[in-house]
Chain A
Amino acid sequence: MRVNFTVNGRKQEADDVWEGESLLYVLRERMGLPGSKNACEQGECGSCTVRLDGVPVCSCLVAAGQVEGREVVTVEGLADYAKQRAEHGGCASGACGTSLDAAQRWQSKPADSQTGENTELSPIQQAFIDAGAVQCGFCTPGLLVAADELLERNDSPSDADIREALSGNLCRCTGYEKILDAVRLAAARGENRTAGQGA
């Protein structure tokens, strides 16, 4: 079958998709976007977390056909997504997600570097690096998407809020302490307050 959907702001068309394929497989093997990770393919680890019309989902549990006509944001598009959110005013109340309208307005730019030098990062991506929250890094993409969505809803989460929001994302390397540090750091840097919210 053919699937048409938008990934990181770009219209995409996938041909010859077998009906049983997951969104994760289509992203990784057909779209050239391997950033979403395949740690369990059972919906238990969160490594494949993407935003589907703004909602964080395990892309391994979403059938490719379900995304027809919809908007997907992956870790590869996170920096641009956060930037555009900031430019468009972000979330006012601390309690809202991304509207479909906002998601559809948004467009990603392609990464320009193989080594990652001079890459523009979202605040949560930078905070993960700075806080030492990345070790093997396999859980990182999913955690970044989940943490970014948390900060979009709640720009000053308590530790209990962070733990609850990230409880669907397994990490085997860090013991989570530095992941908590990273989210606290991103919140403290006030990324969402730069979005014209005052605060």
Chain B
Amino acid sequence: MAGATRTPTNLTQGGKTDAGIGASTLRPDGTLKVTGEFAYSSDMWHEDMLWGFTLRSTEAHAEIVSIDTSEALATSGVYAVLTYDDLPTDVKNYGLEIQDTPVLAHGKVRHHGEPVALVAADHPETARRAAAKIKIEYRQLPLVTDEASATAEGAPLVHEGRDDHHIGHVPHPNIVHRQPIIRGDADEAAKKADVIVSGEYVFGMQDQAFLGPESGLAVPGEDGGVDLYVATQWLHSDLRQIAPVLGLPEEKVRMTLSGVGGAFGGREDLSMQIHACLLALRTGKPVKIVYNRFESFFGHVHRHPAKLWYEHGATKDGKLTHLKCRIVLDGGAYASASPAVVGNASSLAVGPYVVDDVEIEAIALYSNNPPCGAMRGFGAVQACFAYEAQMDKLAKKLGMDPVEFRQLNAMEQGTIMPTGQPVDSPAPVAELLRRIKAMPLPPEQQWLAAGEGADVRALPGGLSNTTHGEGVVRGVGYAVGIKNVGFSEGFDDYSTARVRMEVLAGEPVATVHTAMAEVGQGGVTVHAQIARTELGVEQVTIHPADTQVGSAGSTSASRQTYMTGGAVKNTCEAVREKVLALGRAKFGTYHPAWATAELLLEGGKVVTDGGEVLADLVDVLEGEAIDLELEFRHRPTEAFDLVTGQGNGHVQYSFAAHRAVVEVDTELGLVKVIELAVAQDVGKALNPLSVVGQIQGGTTQGLGVAVMEEIIVDPKTAKVRNPSFTDYLIPTILDTPSIPVDVLELADEHAPYGLRGIGEAPTLSSTPAVLAAIRNAIGLELNKTPVRPEHLTGT
């Protein structure tokens, strides 16, 4: 379709950004982002475009008795109103692993906020008002809201007639997936324990709260296909789910990644993608959909809330004897990533500790609560909160220092995981703990530092002026965690990179084209660095991510630098071989080193490993372009056995440790986190500035869930009570403390450049460290996140 548009552009680098791996080069999209010119998905624009709006269910579990769209359709400015009956093919569901999610509700709704109808109109407000005129009659159905109501005799089934590949091994059709991990004999080992501690822990429902709302633009093509500009974490996964619903072959759904305003797991599932395409194809006009924040809270999955029962034993000299635990994750109405969350929660339930005898069970429920799926650190985050609370309880009962107790039981390279998988790369758990403990503590009573009475900004309660230091006590807490990197359990996890090398305007230039979703993490920066290192060029252009190149896999599971970074490295190496072959053909006869020496590309030249220049790349490449597209895979993994949980299920592990210092106003129950120190092993920091930024950002999301973040679902109605930034709080700059970061680089020989995926690990231990610090300050057990004032004051 012709006409004026605003869509993504190439990213080029110059100036200070010209450096290879290991340097803190600056983002190639930085200038666009600080000038407001970067084209986010909500900024997409097309002449004559319409605005789409999604009508969502007001009930959590109800039969749809009737839908009347006539008044909406008759509204001036409305171009289309679509319901389930308008879906064009027999494929009416989608899903990441289990296709259980209706594109539009059919017959019934299973959660509050489920999409029921779509409207396209010439103004967003027209669309909203027309949608309000759609009359839907609901008949309430009984609710499933927790494990008891899900598995009770005669419980209503959230999904009837399940035929997915998990139904054969789950104890109830309202359980999505169950994964036990059994190793050794936990009952027998428990007899050796001198102390046993147990606890029930509750982890609240967290929202990713990415700032860029779900949004995008679908433009109908002259060939009957559609061009879709959208913010996502995995273009090809979207494509696989979108095309069948539209009844189009995948090549007629051309997807381009638009600017992504954060993701954190919340963009793994589809949101407005299919809806915008349906409206565009129906109306023959470009259609833009942009959620507002209220709708965004219903428009993506959340972090699974969890209940966790843990029992550990230890000998009196501080060695862990056994672990028994049961983890119940609430997956809500649709499966999303629940099976993988169960896999992580169970296989990492023990934490970064050596425990030979374990009895672990994790399940995810189907319920009528909001669907839950991927969020940074999934499965491992919930488990870490519980096992770290247990470690403190054990240390206290044994009269040991909590850090020394952890170090005594810390896993290391060579440890066998409860899944039977050996840890075959560095696992510096004890060292990370040593490092954070050794960091200097922040000074006491910093609110007096200015010397003119109390600066309330440094106190719990802040500018609310609730204390000038009275009733304020300090606490310090530690935690450490383990996260898997990459897609596990036998998934064929690969990434693709296309690299083109040519001479443009007298300069050798590399173009990197992948489908990697840049969501803010800095993958585009790292890809350019890798190309510079491997190809010895200064000029690197990053092509917009789209589906014209092979899949890059998901920007999740801390995997993209490893996987698509690995793919870029891999393709660059192949391009380099072609360049050298070209050089040998053209100039080989002029110098024997072409045939005998190890050759490198550096500074725009072909050089020997001794530094002798053999040729300019400009001369080698003149009149030629080398263009390769190759796939890259990490080493294969295995599924976990469904009975014992045994199997080499993970690719790589990532470790971080935190020390939290908090001050608590004991009278009002207000908490101020004073400092959150982190130590993390990153294998190799390809871009140290970005690495530290990832660690600080992940840490802050963990802080949020410790003291403020929770989606509150009314247990009586299963309705969301706080879908706004007024009521769902995320940390502001006043809530977030100084976050000193100590980066360790111990190479993993299996990974590109020895790097370790880093994005998620800092989110794990941040939360339990803050909880430990609060417990240390006031002496309460505190078994639930987030901690609220009433938990601290007992009121």
Contacts and interface: CB of A to CB of B under 8 A. Distances in A.
Nearest to A60: B292
Interface string B232-268: 0000000000000000000000000001111110000
A47 B36 CA distance: 11
B457 A160 contact: yes
Contact of B213 (A39, A44, A116, A167): A39
A34 B693 contact: no
Given A39-B261, A47-B211, A175-B700, A137 B29 contact: yes
Interface stretch (B7-15, B365-373, B495-503, B767-775): B7-15
Contacts, number: 205
Contacts of A44: 293, 724-726
A173 B733 contact: no
A135 B697 contact: yes
Contact of B693 (A21, A115, A141, A178): A178
B123 interface: yes
A6 interface: no
Contacts of B698: 175
Interface in A65-119: 74-76, 78-79, 111, 114-117, 119
A79 B37 CA distance: 13
Contacts of A111: 35, 37
Which of A40, A76, A138 has the most B CB atoms < 10 Å from its CB? A138
B6 interface: yes
Given A160-B457, A175-B739, A137 B35 contact: no
Interface string A23-44: 0000011001111111111101
Contact of B210 (A41, A76, A172, A180): A172
Contacts of B32: 115-116
A52 interface: no
Contact of A179 (B9, B37, B733): B733
A18 B293 CA distance: 21
Interface in B1-56: 6, 9-12, 14, 24, 26-27, 29-40, 42-43, 45
A21 B739 CA distance: 40
A84 B32 CA distance: 21
Interface stretch (B515-523, B588-596, B647-655, B661-669): B515-523
Given A34-B45, A137-B261, A174 B209 contact: no
Contacts of B697: 135, 172-175
Interface in B194-220: 208-213
A42 B30 contact: no
Interface string A146-183: 00000000000000101110111111111111111000
B290 interface: yes
B263 to A, nearest CB: 8
B211 A171 contact: yes
The interface residues of chain B, by DSSP majority, are classed as: loop
Contacts of A41: 292-293
Contacts of A176: 696, 700, 731, 733, 736
A130 interface: yes
B732 A167 contact: yes
Given A138-B210, A140-B34, 9 more contacts: A34-B42, A37-B211, A40-B725, A115-B12, A116-B37, A119-B31, A137-B34, A160-B458, A175-B699
29 contacts: A18-B123, A34-B42, A38-B213, A38-B292, A39-B212, A40-B292, A74-B36, A115-B9, A115-B32, A116-B32, A117-B14, A119-B31, A119-B35, A121-B31, A129-B34, A132-B26, A136-B519, A136-B520, A138-B212, A160-B458, A163-B733, A172-B209, A175-B736, A175-B739, A176-B700, A176-B731, A177-B692, A178-B693, A179-B733
Interface of B: 6, 9-12, 14, 24, 26-27, 29-40, 42-43, 45, 123, 125, 208-213, 259-264, 290, 292-294, 455, 457-458, 463, 519-522, 689-690, 692-693, 696-701, 724-726, 730-734, 736, 738-739
9 A-B pairs closest in CB distance = A35-B36, A136-B520, A138-B261, A116-B31, A137-B33, A175-B696, A175-B700, A44-B725, A34-B43
